[in-house]
Homo-oligomer: A and B are copies of this chain.
Amino acid sequence: MTELTRDIIIQRLKNLGVDMNGAIEALKNPSMTMPLRTLSNAYFDEKDRLIKLGDKTQTRTFFNVGQAKKFMQTSLVAAGIKQLLEQNKPAISTRQLYYILKHTIEGSKENTFDDQKTETDPVIEDVEVTIDVLREQLGLEATPDGVIAGPLVYEDMKTNDIINCAKLGSAGAAIPPNTENHVVNFKECSADYILVVEKFAVWNLLNQERYWKKNNCLLMTGKGQASRSARRLLARISKELKIPVYIFTDMDAYGYYIYSVYKQGSINLAFFSEKAGCPDAKYIGLKTKDIKRFDIPKTNWIEMNDLDYKRIKEIQNYDWFKNKAWQAELKALKDFKYKVESDSLVSKSIDFTSKVYLPTIIDNKDFIV
């Protein structure tokens, strides 16, 4: 894989304009062809075990009443991003790009953009997929969330700081807004695996117990549903540092889904999912059979409501939950009628998770995959 340098990215953006210019000079209708980002063009790739974007495309032309505005907006976004990259400006948010590009078109009362969510954001995604580059590589960063602790050292290429994730106290290392390799440059990692926990409370307890030190692993939380940069960081750790990924969530449909987003991605961000998935991730969270096995007290059980059952049904139908193990687990959960939170295990004892639960599952390789 060639490394995606800033020069290559600028060149790809330039090519969009070169193609357009060629058409104009040849007195043809300028057009842009790009992958279709609709749900119908997203699919689960059985071989790579990732959600991907299919190969359907769409063409946007300038001389078309229905497409002219979007064509103009796409050109503006591509040109704006290119300019910021060329000038080596700091990364901004997609909302900030919206404000930069929004202006009233001379001689009219029409704005280039009037809304971020419905106008700039989709066009930014179009540009991403067209030139096959993530928005973070285009200098557009999202708000990150989550922390990581353990024997991982990286260099932050923006600031040249060396970050030792084993030395950052009870806070842990904040996951930066951009975890692409032009920012996060892995230096050292002696960890045997990475444990990702859904909830901060679980991370906080394990971190205070120095679980990652005693078990020579990395310990990360995305604080619920993971942010983009947390997902990319995990994908890069899995792929580049080649260590197993274990994901510990609540025992309910929402927890299982969080696991699946880390692992296979999501349909509505299929292009990102291809690059942010960890197809080898293993589910280490509670399974219905663990309730009996570990004698989890009934006071931890929460009766499922209609929404929980509805969500189970939805998940049962996702292609990436279609394997035997998950179908059995989803059915067992439905029959069990209760869900159990990962942070509730303290009722057994404060160190039950670190001393009993996790070692038992890991030693017996009792994951769901």
Closest-by-CB residue of B relative to A344 is B99
Within the complex, which residue of B95, B145, B346 is in contact with A343, where a contact is CB–CB below 8 Å?
B95
Within the complex, which residue of B161, B169, B344 is in contact with A159, where a contact is CB–CB below 8 Å?
B169
Return chain B residues, CB-CB under 8 Å to A298: 104
Structural contact, A161 and B169, CB atoms closer than 8 A: yes
Does A205 make an interface contact (CB < 8 A)?
yes
Closest-by-CB residue of B relative to A221 is B143
Structural contact, A102 and B171, CB atoms closer than 8 A: no
How far does the Cβ of A366 sit from chain B's closest Cβ, in whole Å? Answer: 23
Structural contact, A143 and B201, CB atoms closer than 8 A: yes
Binds B, one of A126-134, A174-182, A252-260: A174-182
Known: A346-B96, A350-B92. A174 touches B147 (CB 8 A): yes
Does A107 make an interface contact (CB < 8 A)?
no
Structural contact, B170 and A159, CB atoms closer than 8 A: yes
Does A66 make an interface contact (CB < 8 A)?
no
CA distance A183 to B207 in the complex (A): 14
How far does the Cβ of A327 sit from chain B's closest Cβ, in whole Å? Answer: 30
Within the complex, which residue of B89, B92, B176 is in contact with A171, where a contact is CB–CB below 8 Å?
B176
Does A167 make an interface contact (CB < 8 A)?
yes
Contact with B along A213-232 (1 / 0, CB 8 A): 00000000001000000000
* Interfacial residues of chain A within 295-316, with CB under 8 A of chain B in the complex: 297-300
Structural contact, A143 and B200, CB atoms closer than 8 A: yes
Structural contact, B170 and A209, CB atoms closer than 8 A: no
Within the complex, which residue of B84, B156, B300 is in contact with A170, where a contact is CB–CB below 8 Å?
B156
Within the complex, which residue of B91, B103, B156 is in contact with A204, where a contact is CB–CB below 8 Å?
B91
Which has the most chain B C-beta neighbours within 10 Å: A90, A145, A223? A90
CA distance A173 to B156 in the complex (A): 13
Does A163 make an interface contact (CB < 8 A)?
yes
Return chain B residues, CB-CB under 8 Å to A21: none
Does A111 make an interface contact (CB < 8 A)?
yes
* Interfacial residues of chain A within 124-151, with CB under 8 A of chain B in the complex: 141, 143-145, 147
CA distance A143 to B298 in the complex (A): 26
CA distance A99 to B298 in the complex (A): 11
Does A26 make an interface contact (CB < 8 A)?
no
Does A100 make an interface contact (CB < 8 A)?
yes
Within the complex, which residue of B93, B159, B171 is in contact with A175, where a contact is CB–CB below 8 Å?
B171
How far does the Cβ of A365 sit from chain B's closest Cβ, in whole Å? Answer: 28
Does A172 make an interface contact (CB < 8 A)?
yes
Within the complex, which residue of B158, B159, B201, B350 is in contact with A95, where a contact is CB–CB below 8 Å?
B201
Structural contact, B183 and A170, CB atoms closer than 8 A: yes
Return chain B residues, CB-CB under 8 Å to A201: 92-93, 95-96, 143
Does A347 make an interface contact (CB < 8 A)?
yes
How far does the Cβ of A121 sit from chain B's closest Cβ, in whole Å? Answer: 14
Known: A174-B174, A200-B143. A91 touches B208 (CB 8 A): yes
Structural contact, B350 and A299, CB atoms closer than 8 A: no
Return chain B residues, CB-CB under 8 Å to A96: 201, 205, 343-344, 346
Seen from chain A, the residues whose Cβ lies within 8 Å of a Cβ on chain B are 84, 89-93, 95-96, 99-100, 102-104, 111, 141, 143-145, 147, 156, 158-159, 161-163, 167-178, 183, 200-201, 204-205, 208-210, 223, 297-300, 341, 343-344, 346-347, 350
